A and B are shown apart, each in its own frame.
Chain A
Amino acid sequence: MADFYYDTAHLLGALVLLTSFGLLYQRRLFALLNVFATQAFVLAAAAAWQAFIHGEPHLYITALLALSLKAIVIPVALHRIILRLEIPRAVDSALGVGMTMVIGVSLVTLSILLVMGVTSGAAALTREDLASALSVVLLGLLMMITRRNAVSQVIGFMSLENGLILAAIGVEGMPLVVEMSVAFAVMVAFIVFGIFFFHIRERFDTLDLQNLETFRGEREERPWS
C-alpha cells in the first residue's frame, strides 16, 4: 500500500511539472488559461492526496484554496479580462519554443541534480517532490522572462507560486499559516496585476510590454528581446 501512496503522490507531482511544460509550450491565451487551471487542479489533487496519506486535515484546506482560487476564480477572472480588454489571443514569445523547451529540460535536470545532492538524508518522497517543485518554480520564472505579454507573465508568476505550494505540501509539518499567507500574497499580487492591466491598457491600448519600454524613453529594442 505504501508503494501505491508513493507512486500516486509522485505521479501528481510529475503531472504538475508536465503542465508547467504545457504552459511553456502553449501559444494561445485561452489555452494557456486552461492549462493553468489544469495545473492548479492537479496541484489541489496532490495536496488532497498528501492530506489523505499523512492524515493531516489542514492540507485539505490548502487543496480547497488551490482548487477554488487557482483552478476556478483566477482563470475565470483572467478570461473575462481578456475578453473585456480585447487582448490579442496569440502570445508572441521572445524565445523559440524549441529553445524554451531545451532550457526547461536543462532546468529540470539541474533541479534534480541539486535536490538529490543536497537532501541525501531526507525521505525519498520529500526529495522527489522537492525536485519537481523546484523545477516548477524555475519553469515559471523562465516563462516570465520568455513571454512578452503581461497576462502570460502573470500566469508565469502564478505557476511559480504553484511550485512553492507543491514544495510546501511535500514537506511534513509545514504549518497552515505559511500556506495561507502564500495564498493571500498571490491574491494580492493578482489584484495588483489586474489593476495594472487596466492602467496599461488605458494608456497604451495594448498589454504588450514593449510599449512600456518605449514609454520609458529607452533605446531601440534589442534583436533578442
Chain B
Amino acid sequence: MAASGVLLSRFTGLRDLAYGGTAVLCLAIAAAAVAHLAGNVAPVSLVLPVGLPGAVTHLRVDSLSALFLLVVNVGGVTACLFGMGHDRMARSVGFAGHADRAPVRTLVPLFLAGMNGVLIADDVFAFLLSWEFMSVSSWLLVLSTHRDAATRRAAHVYLVMASFGTVMLMLGFATLIGTAHGASGAFLGDYSFAGIRAGSPAVLPATIAMLLILLGTGSKAGMVPLHVWLPLAHPAAPSHVSALMSGVMTKVAIYGLVRVVFDLIAIPQWWWGAAMLPLGAVTAVLGILYALMQHDIKRLLAYSTVENIGVILIDIALAIVFKSLGVSALAALALTAALLHVVNHSLYKSLLFYGAGAVLAATGQRDLDALGGLIHRMPITSFVWLIGAAAISSLPPLNGFVSEWLSFQAILNGPLLEQWELKIGIAVTGALLALATGLAGACFVRAYGITFLGRPRSNAAAQAGEVTALMKASMIIPAALSVAIGVVPTLVISLLEPVTRAMVGEGLYDGGGRSGWLWVSPASAFGNSYSGFIMIAVIALMSVVAALVLHRYASARLRRAAAWDCGFGDAGPTAQYSAGSFSQPIRRIFLNQVFSARDTVVMPPPGDTAPARFSLELRDPAWDWLFTPIEQLMGRIADRANLLQFMTIRQYLSLMFGALVLLLVVVAVTQS
C-alpha cells in the first residue's frame, strides 16, 4: 500500500494534472499513509535504478515519512480544492485575480511532488534533489505575482535564503558522510541514509553536522533569525500556495530536522537540545510579537507560522534532551507534542490562509484596516475562521490545546533532570512558551475582531459576498479535522505512537497510563489527563446554562437606546477600534526597544480641521543586526575585489611577481 503511495507520488510531478487529479492523488497517498501508520507495518523500501551515474535512488517509507506524507497530502487536497474554487470564482466573477492562474495550476502539483519526494527519499542525493525541487517550484509560485515590485524582492530574498539552506544541508550531510566510519574503521562514503545510520560519527563532527542541518532546515522552517523571507514570500504567493508554504512546507523542513537528529545521527547530546531551547523560545515569542504588529492579514499569518515553528522546535529540543539523558518516556511525550503540533498547525494554518484568501477574493483587500463587518457578508467563512483562530490560540476543546497541553506536560517534567542548566532553562522556556501562547490569543482576537466584526472599514468590505462552495469546503475540511482532533485526540496520538517508537524508542503509552479513547493520560504526565470530549460537553452545558440564565433574567430587561457618542453624531467606521489601536499597548510594553518602533502623532493645531495623523515605523531586528551587516560586508569586499579588475598591466605583473617571490621564499625557508 505504501509502496503504491511512493510510486504515485513520484509520478505526481510528471503529469500535468489539473487540481482535481492532484487532489485525488493526494487523497490516495494520505489514505495510504494512514493505513501505514495504523497498520504499524515495517518500513517499505524501493530502489530505483536511476540517479547519478553509477548510483541508484533509494526510497523508503517508514512511520515518520508516513506521518508527514499524511500532513502534506491532506494540505494538498484542501489546497487543490481551494485553487479549483478560486479559479471558478475568478472565471465567474471576473475579479482582478492578482496571479496568473495557469502557471500556478501547473506548479502546484510539482510543488507537492517535491515535498512528497523529500519525505520518501532515502539517500542524500534524492533528498537534496527533492528539496531543491520543492524550493524552486515554490519560488516560481511566489513569482506568479511578479508584476508587484515587492513580490520580486520577496522572491529574491526567498531564493537567497533557500540557497543558503540547501548549502547548509549539503555541508551537513557531507560532514556526516565524510566522517562516517564503519565498525572496522574503514571509510564508508555511502550516501544513502542507511549508510549514514551505519556510520557512527564522533561527537564533534556530529555536532557540526547537526548545527549545519539545523541552519538548513531552520532557514526553510522560519527559525529566528533566518525567518526574514517568510513574511515576505508567504503573503506574496496565491493564497492556497501560501497555505501550502506556511502550513506544509515548513513541516517538511521539520521532517528533515527530526529525520537527521533522531534517526540518522545516533548520538544526540543533551546540550544540542539545550542550545535549541532558547532558539525555539525566541522564535516563538518574537514570531508572535511580529504577528501582533502586522496590518496585512497574510503577513500576520506568516509571522504566526514563525511562532508555531518555535513551539515545535521547543518540543523537539526537549525530546533531544530527554532522549539523550535516557528518559525515553518523556522524550516520547515531547516528540508526540511536536508531531501533534505539526499536524495541528498544518490544519489550522491552511484553514486560516484559505480564509484570508477568501477574504482577499471577496474584497480585494489584505489590509486589516480596510476590512471589518464581514461576519454578516461571509457567515460561513467567518465561522470556520473563528474555529481556526481559536485552535491556533490553543483554546480547548480544539486541537491546538492538546499539543500545547502535551508540551507543557513535558516542560513540567524538566525540573526532574540532573543538570541545573536544564532545570532553569526549561522552566524559563516554559514561561516564554506560555507568554507566546497568550500573545497568540491576543493576536488572533485582534485579527478576527478587526476582520470580521465591527462595521466595514471600506466599500469593498461592505459589498463583499460569500465565496464559492469549493473554497468553503476547503476551509470546512481542516476546521472539522481540527475539532475532531481536539475532541478525540487519542485517535491521532495512537497514529503517532509508531513514530515515537521508531525515533526515541518508546511510544506515549508504553510506560502505562490509561489509553482509552476518552482520556489523554500518559504515565509520564504525573497522572495529569485531558479529555477533549468532556471539555466540549462541559462547554456546551455551561453555554446552554448561561444562555438560559441570561435569557431568563437579562433579556427581558433589555432597553434599546442610542449609544453615547461623545457629542459627535454618526462617527464613521474609521472611528472604530482599529488594528493599530489593538496592538499599541502590547507594542509599548514589549517592542519599542527591540523593534525600534517609532510612532509619531501629528496633531493639527486648534482650530484646524485637518485630521490628526498617526504613523508607525517598525524594524525587524534580524535585518538590522544580522542581514544588513552581512550585506554591507559583502559589498565592501566586492568593492575591494573590484579594484583587481582595473589594475594596470604592470600591476598585474607585479602581483604575479610578488606571488612568485613569496612562494620561492616559502620554499627556501622550509627547505633550509
Contact = CB atoms under 8 A, between A and B. Distances in A.
Interface of A: 94, 107, 110-111, 113-114, 117-118, 138, 141-142, 144-145, 148, 209-210, 212-213, 216, 218-219, 225
B657 to A, nearest CB: 5
B661 A219 contact: no
A145 B672 contact: no
Nearest to B658: A145
A110 B650 CA distance: 22
A144 B651 CA distance: 10
A117 to B, nearest CB: 4
Contact of B668 (A113, A212, A219): A113
Nearest to A221: B648
Given A118-B671, A145-B654, A110 B646 contact: no
Given A144-B653, A145-B654, A218 B664 contact: no
Contacts of A138: 660-661
Contact of B650 (A94, A111, A216, A218): A94
Given A138-B661, A145-B654, A110 B648 contact: no
B660 A209 contact: no
Nearest to A219: B646
Contacts of B653: 141, 144-145
A94 B648 CA distance: 13
B649 interface: yes
Given A145-B654, A225-B648, 9 more contacts: A113-B668, A114-B664, A114-B668, A117-B668, A138-B660, A145-B650, A145-B657, A213-B648, A218-B646
Contacts, number: 46
Interface residues of B, number: 16
6 contacts: A117-B667, A117-B668, A142-B657, A145-B653, A213-B649, A216-B646
Contacts of A118: 667, 671
B502 interface: no
Contact of A110 (B649, B651, B654, B661): B661
Contact of A209 (B646, B649, B668, B671): B649
B665 interface: yes
B379 to A, nearest CB: 69
A10 to B, nearest CB: 22
A144 B655 CA distance: 12
B649 A212 contact: yes
A210 B649 CA distance: 10
Nearest to A214: B648
Nearest to A147: B650
A147 to B, nearest CB: 8
Contacts of B649: 209, 212-213
Nearest to A217: B646
Nearest to B652: A145
Interface in B618-672: 646, 648-651, 653-654, 657, 660-661, 664-665, 667-668, 671-672
A110 B665 contact: yes
A114 B665 CA distance: 8
Contacts of B661: 107, 110, 138
Interface string B450-469: 00000000000000000000
Contacts of B660: 138, 141
Interface string B77-107: 0000000000000000000000000000000
Given A113-B668, A114-B668, A209 B657 contact: no
A199 to B, nearest CB: 15
4 closest A-B pairs (Cβ-Cβ)?
A117-B671, A114-B668, A145-B654, A145-B653
Nearest to A103: B661
Nearest to B643: A219
A198 B672 CA distance: 48
Nearest to B646: A218
Given A141-B660, A145-B653, A114 B667 contact: yes
A144 B658 CA distance: 13
A111 B660 CA distance: 12
B667 A225 contact: no
Contacts of B668: 110, 113-114, 117
A218 B648 contact: yes
Contacts of B650: 94, 144-145, 148, 209, 225
A154 to B, nearest CB: 13
B448 to A, nearest CB: 61
